[in-house]
Structure 1
């Protein structure tokens, strides 16, 4: 599928905003990457994940306690993804390249494939946000996420089954979608086929074997077949968190799904304005939400400046809002996570019915 382009003839908004953000870091003598607070949080999250995993393996406890710990482990896996893997994948975790790589490969420790993620997320999603056929994150099997996607009979019921698909998304990602990408060589249905270097082939199979060993074989050996239930609870808890956070940022009532001109293949908006029209913030006033989500509730700032660490988003947020107001650019935001969630549910309900 041929790539689209954005309007690049007149970009006063983008140049002004970039200058202001650059001056902010220069004036305050700050690096745009992570800082000590991020490193401490990362060590804490990994330590919690390891402690929960070991507790489930070696401690005897009532089944309801085990189930609660499995939920907590799944949520912790998601927070590791939000705070550590995501930052490393964007090279914003640290000024040191090796530390970015280590943090990015926490995805492989959770069974995913960072090689695929960087192509699907960094390139497709961040460049062509909410563009059908190019942003593969909005191509969700059995879900109609925007009006340009065909409506099937079962979409009428997506308001009732969405939580099942969101819940199994992490398990499907690790056990099916990665293999689909591996054998097809495509990041999405309409994507071009790409070959993998030998190194990535070895890492892929090593990752999948380690995942099976750490999260299935060892738990079954230590606990018994009931460990499969624990694995399912962990996977559903993690998947639900990951899926919901993405949907609240891009698939709500106010976000747009632009279509390129059929002849020129061009979207008339400049790229930064496109990001603002397809992305929405939520709960930016909640420090707890920001801490847990690694600043992904500041999704607008992240999409405008993906190489800047989330620890700087609250300050950048003020610059972005002021510049948007000055240039008359709409800035999308929900005051709370609950409001954003309700907007998402209304959106998918309407798309399933009409």
Structure 2
């Protein structure tokens, strides 16, 4: 098991930060980052109000607006990298509500489990979310496991994080395929009433479409799709954005150096893509530079693009393996290939192992199809509303 250890690699990373930042306070969000948060919040609020009024255009955009609000706020806030004010970070973490996750459930498993024990099948709870599909060779094989479990359950991942996880916590129950001790806790200092209040936004969006049906403002089909559509799209976005970062064959190889070199493993157990892009980090919560985030979790991702070239040089100098992909489509393809390899290799889609020639739209079809399927279903059903 990797443990925190001193190394020349770690010291060079610290020196990189000291060269670029006068103090840890400068690690936090830039003014431009805050402007993006303001714009995303306005877009999300307009779409949410439209969804409440059963507006089809607003509903179509709502889950994307929720992600655009989540992207510059929640991931940063959960690591206290957004602001030097803890209250601001805590408030920003609530931007994951209602359609992505409950932050009080997320903090313990993400900060304490995933970041300390990345890609450790015994201690990284993230490797067990989408069972019975296998996300790591160390996970046990389920007789019903298939890569298609992963694809299907991905659409319901945010519904699980925002609804099912809190309910299981309240009941102190684990899921059927998790180990008995995998009950995601809330922070020990969290007051029960505060936790219950965090469930109210989710409760509202679960009930509201059906109230519209009962009032006669929409028919049953429209009410059902108003209810399901935001969850399905945010679930697809979440699954793509998060799972490509670690569920990869090269991210699950043994470390190239000493097994107790914690910082080396944090880099080598993650994948980066769209390196050099200024736009992609803004759309992906900087998850596209995941290895950098794992060795610098106290630095706001808005700084990563400007640091990456020097960071990569440090990795090369120390022989640290950087796992990279061309873009998100490429990373999604290799994730699907890995999940099927571990779960049901005989069912592996050809597009996952035989990608089309680069440069055309065809290479992006699997990613577009996955996120676009609920969008297409919603649009096809609108004549029946």
TM-score where L is the length of structure 1: 0.85
Change (3 A) 1:129 1:111: closer
Aligned residue pair count: 333
Of residues 109, 114, 133 in structure 2, which corresponds to 1:125?
114
1:70 aligns with 2:66: no
Contact 1:185 1:194 in 2 (8 A): no
Of residues 96, 101, 116 in structure 2, which corresponds to 1:112?
101
- Deviations 1:117-156 (Å, cap 9, x if unpaired)? 110101111111011121101112221011111222322x
Secondary structure of the 1:238 match is helix
Change (3 A) 1:349 1:217: closer
What's 1:183 paired with?
171
What's 1:63 paired with?
none
Contact 2:141 2:343 in 1 (8 A): yes
Post-superposition offset of 1:30: 7.7
Of residues 45, 48, 54 in structure 2, which corresponds to 1:50?
45
Q: Which runs of no fewer than 5 residues in structure 2 stay unpaired?
A: 346-385
Of residues 50, 69, 84 in structure 2, which corresponds to 1:95?
84
What's 2:380 paired with?
none
**Greater RCO between the two (CA within 8 Å, min separation 6)?**
1
Change (3 A) 1:277 1:198: closer
Secondary structure of the 1:319 match is helix
Q: Which runs of no fewer than 5 residues in structure 1 stay unpaired?
A: 61-65, 260-266
What's 1:216 paired with?
206
Contact 2:108 2:186 in 1 (8 A): no
Residues in 2 aligned to 1:287 and 1:104: alpha-carbon distance in whole angstroms:
24
Output the aligned Cα RMSD.
2.7
What's 1:163 paired with?
151
What's 1:341 paired with?
332
Residues in 1 aligned to 2:330 and 2:91: alpha-carbon distance in whole angstroms:
36
Contact 2:272 2:323 in 1 (8 A): yes
Residues in 1 aligned to 2:22 and 2:186: alpha-carbon distance in whole angstroms:
41
User: How do 1:185-204 residues align onto structure 2 when only pairs under 5 Å count?
Assistant: 189=179, 190-191=181-182, 199-204=190-195
Change (3 A) 1:5 1:347: closer
Change (3 A) 1:273 1:186: farther
Residues in 2 aligned to 1:22 and 1:320: alpha-carbon distance in whole angstroms:
13
Contact 2:105 2:185 in 1 (8 A): no
Of residues 139, 143, 151 in structure 2, which corresponds to 1:153?
143
Post-superposition offset of 1:193: 8.5
Post-superposition offset of 1:236: 0.7
Change (3 A) 1:166 1:71: farther
What's 1:84 paired with?
73
Post-superposition offset of 1:257: 6.1
Residues in 2 aligned to 1:351 and 1:206: alpha-carbon distance in whole angstroms:
40
TM-score where L is the length of structure 2: 0.79
User: How do 1:204-353 residues align onto structure 2 when only pairs under 5 Å count?
Assistant: 204-213=195-204, 215-222=205-212, 223-224=217-218, 225=220, 226-256=222-252, 268-353=259-344
What's 2:3 paired with?
6
